[in-house]
Amino acid sequence: MSKQKRFLLNEDELPRQWYNIQADMINKPLPLLNPATREPLTAEDLSHIFANECAKQELDTEHAWIDIPEEVLRRYSYYRSTPLVRAYALEEALGTPAHIYFKNESVNPLGSHKLNSAIPQCYYCKQEGVKNVTTETGAGQWGAALSYAAKSFGLECAVYQVKISMLQKPYRSSIMRTFGATVTGSPSMSTRAGKDIITADPNHPGSLGTAISEAVELATTTPDCKYTLGSVMNHVSLHQSVIGLEAEKQMKMAGEYPDMIIACFGGGSNFGGLAFPFMRHQLKGEGKKIDFIAAEPESCPKLTKGKFEYDFGDTAGYTPLLPMYTLGHEFKPANIHAGGLRYHGAGTIVSQLLKDGYLRGVDIPQLESFDAGLLFARTEGIIPAPESCHAIAATIREAKKCKETGEEKVILFNLSGHGLIDMTAYDSFLNGDLV
């Protein structure tokens, strides 16, 4: 067998369509509900908040393949394909017979998979005559990707960043401001939702839920302004499907097919992006069975300990009611460094698929995640984002099981981002200050 380490696609092999798993799901996700009337939301209702095209994609349960606009394709080609890499050095350090591959989504200039959805969301806003976009961000990867994409399409951008993450990772605010965005720590006194949250709890560290409330409020009270979201929603997983579609071709180049697919889990976009194109075969009852694993932090375990029910996507209750696994919209996640995973709910597609047994969740303690990240950094030479460390930890668990059983399983995981702006987190870990 060849010892090739990296697999890349030529520009003419890049996917030209996104994959919409909703079309192939046997049980479709339950409808999003208007919180006031409890009636299913229409694309029109959603388009008050989101770009029209994103609202349409959100509710599309019919078309499995959706054309990627030419302009978006052109911008994808600046940094895609991303490499599929065989982690020989990690395998060797673990002494495992498993074959470990990772899809490296950290190699675009913004450092995470988030750019894959920031580009099309800003593209559609621009097409539809929108002037301003607003959003929330946790650790700041989404905010950074959106700030850049907005600027490149000539849109103004306002970002609410979770207060605790802003303090933990000050350089992410600098990055967003460098791209021209206005950045406000959430909860803030600049919105009604923020004021209410601060009045109830003056020391609230902020969460993605509080920041979403503030951004949605800004979008609905500002003319020509749309809200954008970096995770959770169906249209975001749709845009992220380029990851899995490329990986499918690249695994073929490597002459292998995954037995397991692993990704960390915040709202489900990097998991869905990698997993859904492979899962489509399973939904049709074809191909080899794959064990799909979503790795979440032990301190925010909505997949393994949450309830499947209708809940809000934000703290103040401004969003539609979403049918999902949730810890409750008032859940306050611990101040772990994996800011992108500090979210109370799971996307509606993943929630339905989990309910139907197509994937499983695993919970990773923070220290185990950093142990895994350190081993990966020291073997493969890439410092992973604290979020991605959860996927690496789950991969290492499985690779160690293979060592015990002697099974040569093929494991594919998503390296959703790099951790070069998260070095304070690594410092705390190396100093022994993390719990």
Ligand X SMILES: *Cc1c(COP(=O)(O)O)cnc(C)c1O
Residues that bind ligand X (CB under 6 A): 112, 114, 141-142, 231, 264-271, 340-341, 385, 387-388, 416-417
Q: Are 112 and 145 in contact (CB under 8 A)?
A: yes
Residue 285's region, left for phi above 0, alpha for psi from -120 to 50, else beta, is left
As measured in angstroms, the least distance from the Cβ of 112 to ligand X is 4
- φ/ψ (deg, to 5) at 67: -60, 135
**Burial of 292: CB neighbours in 10 Å, binned 0-12, 13-18, 19+:** buried
As measured in angstroms, the least distance from the Cβ of 296 to ligand X is 9
Q: Report the Cα 96 to chain-centroid distance in Å.
A: 29
Select from 45, 54, 43, 70 the least CA-distant residue to 20: 54
Select from 435, 404, 372, 391 the least CA-distant residue to 90: 372
As measured in angstroms, the least distance from the Cβ of 340 to ligand X is 3
Cβ contacts of 309 within 8 Å, gap of 6 or more: 323, 324, 326
Which one, 231 or 352, has the nearer CB to ligand X?
Answer: 231
Which one, 96 or 137, has the nearer CB to ligand X?
Answer: 137
Q: Are 322 and 313 in contact (CB under 8 A)?
A: yes
As measured in angstroms, the least distance from the Cβ of 387 to ligand X is 3
As measured in angstroms, the least distance from the Cβ of 309 to ligand X is 20
Which one, 114 or 332, has the nearer CB to ligand X?
Answer: 114
As measured in angstroms, the least distance from the Cβ of 172 to ligand X is 10
**In one letter, which amino acid is 213?**
S
Which one, 194 or 340, has the nearer CB to ligand X?
Answer: 340
Which one, 96 or 108, has the nearer CB to ligand X?
Answer: 108
What is the end-to-end Cα distance of the chain in Å, rounded?
Answer: 43
As measured in angstroms, the least distance from the Cβ of 292 to ligand X is 14
Q: Are 159 and 137 in contact (CB under 8 A)?
A: yes
Select from 415, 264, 256, 252 the least CA-distant residue to 339: 264
As measured in angstroms, the least distance from the Cβ of 134 to ligand X is 17
Which one, 81 or 237, has the nearer CB to ligand X?
Answer: 237
**In one letter, which amino acid is 168?**
Q
Which one, 338 or 402, has the nearer CB to ligand X?
Answer: 338
Q: What's 33's DSSP letter?
A: B
Q: What's 112's DSSP letter?
A: B
Which one, 251 or 264, has the nearer CB to ligand X?
Answer: 264
